[in-house]
A and B are shown apart, each in its own frame.
Chain A
């Protein structure tokens, strides 16, 4: 087997980064950033997701097919969110009865 084995050091650093980001997202929630509070929280969550997926779930060393499937899955999630929200955010734009 020519499987890639990451070092304990790599995994420990990823864990420390994840814990630091957890502390960061908790603290930044108490700072008034206005509408950017949600952006900051989600940006940090996406960073944590990438760390877990790329290192702990070995997507970094996965085959191209697996990477494509992961990206494709996220694309469908974005379609789910975007199309639903494009409906709900624009419903009030036109003063049409029965909208």
Chain B
């Protein structure tokens, strides 16, 4: 039920600010459950890395640091364009919202493309856990397989979140083109922004933990 003065205000809220605060709080509660979801995997990773540090260091060294670092930069730029879209929405700049959302979508797409290339490389090099797994220079093949199991589970879950995020951004672009978002009502842009930045933060931790273990050791 919307009133005449503020069409976006729902009946259960006193003010638009209160309505926005409620949405933000709800989104953060959801993100905290996501933190715990990924947290379980980070905990498993920490336990096994401690137990099988040699195999984990060797397996980690087989990943391509250059590609990983470039992809990190791509995702950070995508987060930047997302926050610029949120800013444009706050100021009610309709065309700028669409422009920055499209840019965020493109950079997110590049990240996923590079990730797909990396996974394909793992299949070609027999670095995918299973009967044909083999990693040179490691005596405990099982421990190396455990690293790659965690690698695929963590980057896979992260990529799944990216795919959902790309879908959400496409939906926002559609709404923004229709002119749904104004300086008074832009909650969906803000909330998807929070989600997109959260996915970015997960990668900020995945990159050093998966790609940069004991790189300084001679091999």
CB within 8 Å of B: which residues of A?
1-3, 5-6, 8, 11-12, 14-15, 18-19, 22-23, 25-26, 29-33, 37, 41-42, 44-45, 48-49, 52-53, 55-57, 62-63, 65-66, 69-70, 72-74, 76-77, 80-81, 84-85, 88-89
Residue B16 CB within 8 A of the other chain: yes
Q: Are A5 and B16 in contact (CB under 8 A)?
A: no
Q: A1-B184, A56-B197, A81-B42 are in contact. Are A49 and B205 (CB under 8 A)?
A: yes
Please give, as numbers and ranges, the residues of chain A lying within 8 Å of B184 by CB-CB distance. Answer: 1
Residue B130 CB within 8 A of the other chain: no
Q: Are B76 and A19 in contact (CB under 8 A)?
A: yes
CB within 8 Å of A: which residues of B?
16-17, 20-21, 24-25, 28-29, 31-32, 35-36, 39-40, 42-43, 46-47, 50-51, 65, 69, 72-73, 76-77, 79-80, 82-84, 87, 90-91, 183-184, 193-194, 197-198, 200-201, 204-205, 207-209, 212, 214-217
Please give, as numbers and ranges, the residues of chain B lying within 8 Å of A74 by CB-CB distance. Answer: 35
Please give, as numbers and ranges, the residues of chain B lying within 8 Å of A84 by CB-CB distance. Answer: 43, 46-47
Report B167 CB to chain A, min CB distance, Å: 20
Jot down 30 A-B pairs with beta carbons below 8 A, ordered by A: A3-B20, A5-B87, A11-B87, A15-B80, A19-B76, A25-B207, A25-B212, A26-B69, A30-B216, A32-B216, A45-B204, A48-B201, A52-B204, A53-B197, A53-B201, A56-B197, A57-B193, A57-B194, A65-B21, A66-B25, A66-B28, A69-B28, A69-B32, A70-B28, A70-B32, A73-B31, A76-B32, A80-B36, A85-B46, A85-B50
Please give, as numbers and ranges, the residues of chain A lying within 8 Å of B207 by CB-CB distance. Answer: 22, 25, 45
Q: Are B208 and A15 in contact (CB under 8 A)?
A: no
Report B91 CB to chain A, min CB distance, Å: 6
Please give, as numbers and ranges, the residues of chain A lying within 8 Å of B32 by CB-CB distance. Answer: 69-70, 72-73, 76
Q: A2-B17, A3-B90 are in contact. Are A56 and B79 (CB under 8 A)?
A: yes
